[in-house]
């Protein structure tokens, strides 16, 4: 990368490499994110990366690799161990229709996440200041994490909050094969996408694990993943993130303020 490249030009090149449309509002949101992250980092030590180029490439663009494995449509996504918002906030900027939960137990990091949500005026997103072990049933469609757990532990911890037919997405390094071998005969379907972070030679192994929709026999690992469909759920649906009934599985009902029928 040329040392005089502006942050905006680096981001645009990276988004083009990922075949993502770079709207003006996306660029503005990412530049605000960059500025606020550097400002808060002086006091809160949110990231070890210091330069604009490193933050854009190794945080923003790296986070967007998850989109290569994510279903389309209005899905519910949980970012486990969100930290400074990666990969959840970059995903939400580019895919605003996603309902996002940022799970982060550390108070200072959770405070930064809430600050960014307010600063960027992001809607349909919530910070969950809890450990993943303490989560109540939330029935999300996708759970993502960024080098926080090994594959086996992530599957075990997230199984209670993931809907049947939902998926887990992890970004792993070169030891991904060893971790997959440790899964043994688990009732899981998985695939691995090997993708380079744009503008670098750094390879990421995006592991996509699909939770079985049936009980009993082990699922075959040779299943085709050529086309991913958004999970089918009943209509209507509730958009009130604060409602306890919603967390218990309520999809909304006519007369409730959170009710919205699907088209």
Q: Is the pLDDT of residue 3 over 90?
A: no
pLDDT tens digits, one per residue of 207-223: 999 876 654 333 333 32
Q: Is the pLDDT of residue 245 over 90?
A: no
* Structure letter (DSSP) for residue 12: H
Separation CA 64–CA 95 (nearest Å): 10
pLDDT tens digits, one per residue of 45-73: 999 999 999 999 999 999 999 999 999 99
pLDDT tens digits, one per residue of 29-50: 999 999 999 999 999 999 999 9
pLDDT tens digits, one per residue of 121-144: 999 999 999 998 888 778 899 999
Separation CA 249–CA 246 (nearest Å): 5
Q: What is the largest CA-CA distance in the chain?
A: 58
- Give which of 47, 30, 36, 141 is closest to 94, Cα–Cα: 30
Angstrom CA distances, 174 to 34, 74, 204, stand at 28, 32, 8
| pLDDT grade for 13, boundaries at 50, 70 and 90 | very high
Q: Would you say 21 and 12 are in contact if contact means Cβ atoms under 8 Å apart?
A: no
């Amino acid at each position: 990368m040329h040392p005089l490249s502006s942050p905006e030009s680096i981001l645009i090149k990276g988004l083009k490499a990922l075949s993502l449309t770079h709207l003006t509002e996306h660029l503005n949101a990412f530049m605000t994110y960059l500025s606020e992250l550097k400002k808060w980092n002086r006091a809160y030590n949110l990231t070890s990366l210091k330069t604009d180029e490193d933050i854009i490439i190794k945080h923003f663009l790296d986070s967007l690799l998850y989109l290569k494995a994510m279903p389309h449509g209005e899905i519910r996504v949980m970012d486990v161990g969100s930290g400074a918002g990666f990969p959840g906030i970059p995903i939400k900027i580019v895919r605003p229709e996603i309902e996002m939960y940022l799970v982060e137990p550390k108070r200072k990091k959770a405070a930064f996440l809430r600050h960014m949500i307010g600063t960027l005026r992001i809607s349909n997103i919530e910070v969950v200041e809890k450990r993943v072990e303490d989560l109540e049933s939330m029935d999300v469609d996708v759970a993502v994490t960024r080098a926080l757990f090994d594959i086996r532990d992530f599957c075990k911890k997230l199984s209670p909050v993931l809907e049947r037919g939902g998926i887990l997405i992890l970004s792993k390094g070169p030891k991904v094969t060893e971790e997959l071998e440790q899964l043994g005969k688990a009732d899981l379907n998985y695939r691995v996408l090997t993708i380079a972070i744009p503008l670098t030679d750094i390879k990421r192994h995006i592991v996509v694990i699909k939770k079985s929709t049936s009980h009993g026999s082990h699922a075959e690992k040779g299943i085709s993943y050529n086309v991913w469909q958004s999970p089918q759920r009943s209509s209507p649906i509730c958009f009130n993130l604060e409602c306890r009934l919603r967390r218990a599985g309520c999809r909304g009902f006519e007369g409730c303020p959170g009710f919205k029928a699907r088209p």
